[in-house]
Amino acid sequence: MTASAPPPCPRAAGFAGWYGTAAILAAYALSSFGVLQSADRVYQALNLTGALGVAWVCWHKRTWQAFWLEAVWAAIALAALVRPLLP
């Protein structure tokens, strides 16, 4: 049985994937070196937008394990961002 090749990845998704990779790495580095704390909104925003960018590429390339990792990563970041806004 031959697996079908994933459809071509749109240029915008490729760009989003590279942005996502850079954003997640930046968040990790800034947190590791004490520039940002995990409770900082910038840290969570980098994780959220980064995970969404990488998830978009994974969706197009049909890389489901990585897609679900990034989807959960984004959900955690989103929950951390909205938590302080809840009563």
Report the SS3 class of residue 39: coil
% of the chain surpassing 70 pLDDT: 95
Q: Domain coordinates of the chain in residue numbers?
A: 40-87
* Contacts for 6 with CB less than 8 Å, ≥ 6 apart: 60, 61, 62
The pLDDT, as a whole number, for residue 84 is 87
Which pLDDT tens digit goes with each residue over 25-47? 999 999 999 999 999 999 999 99
The amino acid at residue 3 is: A
* 14: Cα within 13 Å, side-chain hemisphere: 5
